[in-house]
Chain A
Amino acid sequence: MALDQSFVGRSYPPTPAYEVGREKIREFAEAVGDTNPAYTDPDAAKALGHSDVIAPPTFVFAITFKAAGVVIEDPQLGLDYSRVVHGDQRFSYTRPVRAGDRLSVTSTIESVNSRAGNDILDIRGEVHDESGEHVVTAWTKLVARAAGEEG
Chain B
Amino acid sequence: MAAKIAYDEVEVGTELPAQTFPVTRATLVQYAGASGDFNPIHWNEKFAKEVGLPDVIAHGMFTMAEAIRVVTDWAGDPGAVVEYGVRFTKPVVVPNDDKGAVIEVSGKVAAKLDDDQVRVDLTAMSAGQKVLGMSRAVVRLA
Q: A20-53, CB under 8 A of B: which get 1 and which 0? A: 0000100110111110101100000001111000
A-B contact pairs, 30 of them (CB 8 A): A27-B34, A30-B30, A30-B34, A31-B31, A31-B34, A32-B31, A32-B34, A33-B27, A34-B72, A38-B78, A48-B2, A49-B77, A50-B79, A54-B78, A56-B72, A57-B65, A57-B68, A57-B72, A58-B68, A87-B88, A88-B86, A88-B134, A89-B60, A89-B88, A90-B83, A91-B83, A91-B85, A96-B78, A150-B51, A150-B52
- A86 beta carbon closer than 8 Å to chain B: yes
Interface size on B, residues (CB 8 A): 37
Contact B84 A90 (CB under 8 A): yes
- Shortest Cβ distance from residue B34 to the other chain A in the assembled complex, whole angstroms: 4
Contact of A88 with B21 in the complex, beta carbons under 8 Å = no
Q: Which of B1, B27, B72, B88 contacts A36 (CB 8 A)?
A: B72
Please give, as numbers and ranges, the residues of chain B lying within 8 Å of A91 by CB-CB distance.
83-85
With A49-B1, A86-B88, A88-B88 known, 15 other A-B pairs at CB within 8 A are: A27-B33, A48-B2, A48-B76, A54-B78, A57-B78, A58-B64, A58-B65, A62-B36, A88-B87, A89-B88, A90-B84, A92-B82, A93-B82, A93-B83, A96-B79
